[in-house]
Amino acid sequence: MGLHEDVGEILFTAEQIQEIVQRIGKKISEDYADKDLIMISVLKGSLMFMADLMRAVTIPCSIDFLSVSSYGAGTTTTGEVKILKDLDISLEGKDVLVVEDILDSGMTLSFLLKSLKARNPRSIRLCTLLDKPERRRVNIQADYVGVQVPDKFIVGYGLDYAEKYRNLPYIGVLKPEIYSD
Q: What is the residue type of 24?
A: I
Q: Is 95 a catalytic residue?
A: no
Q: What is the residue type of 39?
A: M
Q: Which of 95, 101, 104, 131 is catalytic?
A: 104
Cβ distance 106 to 138 under 8 Å?
A: yes
Rg of the chain over Cα atoms, rounded to whole angstroms, equals 16
Distance from C-alpha of 178 to C-alpha of 73, rounded to nearest angstrom: 13
Per DSSP bridges, beta strands 154-155 and 171-174 are antiparallel
Q: Is the dihedral of CA 29, 30, 36, 38 positive or negative?
A: negative
Active site residue ranges: 104
